[in-house]
Amino acid sequence: MQQITGHEQNIAALKKVLESNKVAHAYLFVGPAGVGKRTVALAFARLLLCENIINGGSCFNCRSCRQISGGNHPDLHLIEPAGAAIKLEQIQQLQKQGYYRSYQGGRRIYLIPQSEVMTTPAANALLKILEESPAEMVFILTSSRPAALLPTIRSRCQQFWFRLLTIDQITAGLSASTSTELTKEHQHLLAVMSGGSLGRALALVNQDIQAGRTKVIAILEKATANDLVALLMEAAALATDRVLIEELLEFLPLWLRDVLVWKITKNKSLISNIDMLPEITKQARQYPVSSLVAMLEETELMRKHLETKGNVRLLLDVFFLKLADLSQHSKQ
Percentage with pLDDT > 70 across the chain: 95
What is the structure's pLDDT at 148? 92
What is the structure's pLDDT at 234? 93
First vs last Cα of the chain: how many Å apart? 56
Query: Which of 194-208, 219-233, 293-307 is predicted least confidently?
Result: 194-208
What is the structure's pLDDT at 174? 87
Name the average pLDDT for the chain: 88
3-state class (DSSP) for residue 159: strand
What is the structure's pLDDT at 330? 54
Average pLDDT over residues 308-327: 90
Q: For residue range 232-273, what is the model confidence (pLDDT) as tens digits? A: 999 999 998 888 898 898 889 989 999 999 999 999 888 888
pLDDT at 332 over 50: no
pLDDT at 74 over 70: yes
Q: For residue range 81-119, what is the model confidence (pLDDT) as tens digits? A: 988 899 999 999 888 776 666 677 678 999 999 999 999
Q: For residue range 3-36, what is the model confidence (pLDDT) as tens digits? A: 788 888 999 999 998 888 888 999 999 998 889 9
Per-residue pLDDT band for 203 (boundaries 50, 70, 90) equals: confident
pLDDT at 208 over 90: no
Cα distances from 106 to residues 49, 109, 224, 295, in angstroms, run 7, 10, 63, 52
Cα distances from 168 to residues 4, 174, 183, 189, 192, in angstroms, run 14, 10, 15, 12, 10
What letter does residue 54 receive in the DSSP assignment?
B
What is the structure's pLDDT at 290? 93
**For the chain, which domains are there?**
8-161 (3.40.50.300), 207-331 (1.20.272.10)
Average pLDDT over residues 192-209: 82
Contacts of 71 (CB under 8 A, 6+ apart): none
What is the structure's pLDDT at 267? 93
What is the structure's pLDDT at 287? 92
Strand partners, 26: 139
What is the structure's pLDDT at 98? 63
What is the structure's pLDDT at 18? 87
Q: Where are the alpha helices (DSSP H) in the chain?
A: 8-19, 37-49, 63-69, 88-98, 120-132, 151-155, 167-177, 184-193, 198-205, 209-224, 228-238, 242-265, 277-286, 289-307, 312-328
pLDDT at 282 over 80: yes
pLDDT at 129 over 50: yes
What is the structure's pLDDT at 14? 92
More confident residue, 219 or 175: 219
More confident residue, 186 or 310: 186
